[in-house]
Amino acid sequence: MSSSLLRWFRIVALAEATSFLLLLGASYAKHFHDEGLGVSVLGPIHGLLFMAYLALALHSASEARWSARTTIWILIGAVVPFGGFVVDRWLVRNVQPLDA
């Protein structure tokens, strides 16, 4: 995997995980405190980051030749709270950029 692809995937994974947690907080505020502005702002931002995460994960899986099992775990990281943080840690420990 190229170092630029790895860098972008790590950035997007962390941003997606952070936006997911913020969106969960905003959802709580919307449903229990009748404050929906956070969801209307964070929802589209998180949606874009989620789509970018999926695209980068699939591209990375192809380029790095990850197994189907590894790819599935990486994709699950997008839908589990804190998952993007775990994926980032895994990338740091297990993926060596080809052009490093």
21-78 pLDDT per residue, tens: 999 999 999 999 999 899 999 999 999 999 999 999 999 999 999 999 999 999 999 9
pLDDT, position 97: 85
Three-state DSSP class for 33?
Answer: helix
Q: Which residues contact 4 (CB under 8 A, 6 or more apart)?
A: none
Residue 100 pLDDT > 60 = no
Token pair, residue 10, equals 């790590």
Token pair, residue 15, equals 């941003």
Range 50-80 burial, b when 16+ CB lie within 10 A, else e: bebbbebbeebbeebebeeeebeebbebbee
DSSP per position, 65-81: T--HHHHHHHHHTTTST
* Predicted TM-score of the model (pTM): 0.91
